[in-house]
Amino acid sequence: MREHEDYKEMIAAHALGALEAAEARELDAHLASCAECRVEFESWQDVAASLVYAAPTSKPSAELRSRLLASVRAEAAQPSSPVIIKESVKSKGIAVESSKVESNVVPFEKPARRSWSTASQVWAIAASLAFIALIASLVLLWNRNNAMQQEMARVTTQLDEAQVELTREREILSREREARELISAPESRIMTLAGTEMATRARAKFVYDRKTGRAMLMADDLPPAPAGKAYQLWYIAEGKPPMPGHVFNTNAAGHAEMRDQLSEEARSATIFAVTLEPSNGVNAPTGPKYLLSATS
Amino acid sequence: MHPEQAQTTDVEILRNIAGGDEQALSSLYDRYRLILFGLILRILHSQAEAEDVLQEVFLQVWRRASDFDETRGRPFTWLVTLARSRAIDRLRSLASRDRTAQESIRDVPDSTSNAADDAVKSEQGEIVRSALKELPDEQRKTLLLAYFEGLTQSEIAERLKTPLGTVKTRMRSGMIKLRELLGERVKDLI
């Protein structure tokens, strides 16, 4: 359990947004209950925000301003927004006033006795008002519909992203669990492979369980194999020809993970090597060595 | 140097926005679009993505201006924090959605305007830039990686092949040094 002082140490990094997600959540919970740290956090936020000046200012295109205002208006057109509330209040005000005028001044008979043309004019005005109201409500509905569609598209994208992220996290987790199990097996062996002159920065860890033969290779900084080629792992026991392992390739970042199942014989190997071979693999090594275990 | 009035006006503008005043939103946009767009562009390196995020930021200001609590921070800090986190969110979603998208957005325009264009804040910018120059290289680098690339401390450690503890110390020392260098002026800056 962290103490107040530990949290205090983390605040500056939090203002920079640099804590790990779990740490950030923990600190947020502390901030909610500790006024002193909250004040401290606010002052660090000011310092962090000053970094905005490390970026050169830049002009967005002129259309963006009108685009922004258009979408603000589209939102304002929704019934829940403050603008509409004001309008309905206003129209209520007018209604109240006009009924007052009616009761105070105008006797009802007089207009009824007016000519037919005046009456039809009144009807025409009423009809066009109704028509305008109809159009206005259509525009409102249309805007609202648009805004909702946009919102839905946004939510769908977010959901997709979240699902992709989740799948990826799950894969990582299951690989990590597998590696952990393998490493903690009672008869597991861990070998370090170093890059040869073909790839001096390359390195790899090879873990295998001598009892079950389950094995995993994790390589880094190994250049991706050229087209038609792949890397192949070899198990070498003293006085015997190298035994072939699986072929694999690295990703663009030079990272590779490969699982293999070692035969009884291969489990007695003392040397592990990786060579570059045709992409289907071969039975005896033909290409140059890229990774080699330290001979013990 | 920094008129107290301008500070009050920011708060007032946000209050007006919270009351549904579009005009207030326009004036806030006109006041800070250069500096906020500069920030977002620096993070995303793409004119189109950055414009999209800038619009999102101001839409959020429109929707959430009433959440702003003037007793809990300054309007400019609130705006910058909002813009930065929206931009970092976008950066992460671009990175996870499509690696190649990241490649293709490297079309950083040269049209970064002169800092002098931004009459409101150019003087203050000079103060921060010279303070940053005084930080030791590795401290400055740590702060900038976190702020503009959205890296966490352990990601920075991995990127710089430096122990995590060292990164934490550098970050904290860098922030303390920056606060010292800015001193009381930090209140005028933001």
pLDDT-based confidence at residue B122 (cuts at 50, 70, 90): low
Q: In this model, does residue B106 exceed pLDDT 50?
A: no
Instruction: Give dist(CA B41, CA B108) in Å, integer.
Output: 8
Q: Which chain A residues touch B39 with a CB distance below 8 Å?
A: 52, 55
Nearest CA in chain B to A82: B20
- Crossing angle of helices A63-76 and A82-104, in 10° steps, is 50
pLDDT-based confidence at residue B190 (cuts at 50, 70, 90): low
Q: Which chain B residues touch A172 with a CB distance below 8 Å?
A: none
**Cα torsion for A207, A168, B148, A25, to the nearest 10°?**
-90
Q: Does B102 touch chain A (CB under 8 A)?
A: no
Q: Which chain A residues touch B80 with a CB distance below 8 Å?
A: 49, 52
- What's the rounded mean pLDDT across residues B37-58? 95
Interface probe with A: pick from B113, B175, B185, most Cβ of A within 10 Å:
B175
pLDDT value for B52:
95
Compute the nearest-CA separation of B86 from chain A (Å): 12
> Does B89 or A97 have the greater pLDDT score?
B89
pLDDT value for B145:
94
Q: What is the pLDDT of chain B when averaged over all its residues?
A: 83
Inter-chain residue contact B112 with A50, CB threshold 8 Å: no
Judge contact between A15 and A25, C-beta under 8 A. no
Compute the nearest-CA separation of A17 from chain B (Å): 7
Q: Which chain B residues touch A55 with a CB distance below 8 Å?
A: 38-39, 41-42, 148
pLDDT value for B154:
95
**What are the residue ranges in chain A where pLDDT is below 50?**
81-114
> What percentage of residues in chain B have a pLDDT greater than 70?
80
ipTM score of complex: 0.86
Widest CA span in chain B: 51
The tens digit of pLDDT for each residue in A179-205 reads: 888 888 888 888 899 999 999 899 999
Q: Which chain A residues touch B103 with a CB distance below 8 Å?
A: none
- For residue A243, the cross-strand partners are A235
- What's the rounded mean pLDDT across residues B51-78? 91
- What's the rounded mean pLDDT across residues B37-54? 94
pLDDT value for B3:
44
Residue A210 structure tokens: 């001598």
Task: List all residues 6 or more positions away from B50 whose beta carbon is below 8 Å from its beta carbon.
Answer: A60, B37, B40, B41, B43, B44, B87
Inter-chain residue contact A68 with B55, CB threshold 8 Å: yes
The tens digit of pLDDT for each residue in A261-286 reads: 999 889 989 899 999 999 889 999 99
pLDDT value for B2:
45
CA distances from B178 to B115, B141, B149 (A): 21, 13, 19
pLDDT value for A195:
92
Q: Does B54 touch chain A (CB under 8 A)?
A: yes
Option in A13, A15, A252 nearest B153 (CB): A13
Q: Does B73 touch chain A (CB under 8 A)?
A: yes
Interface probe with B: pick from A7, A11, A14, A16, most Cβ of B within 10 Å:
A16
Inter-chain residue contact A17 with B41, CB threshold 8 Å: no
Instruction: Give dist(CA A266, CA A97) in Å, integer.
Output: 97
Inter-chain residue contact A82 with B39, CB threshold 8 Å: no
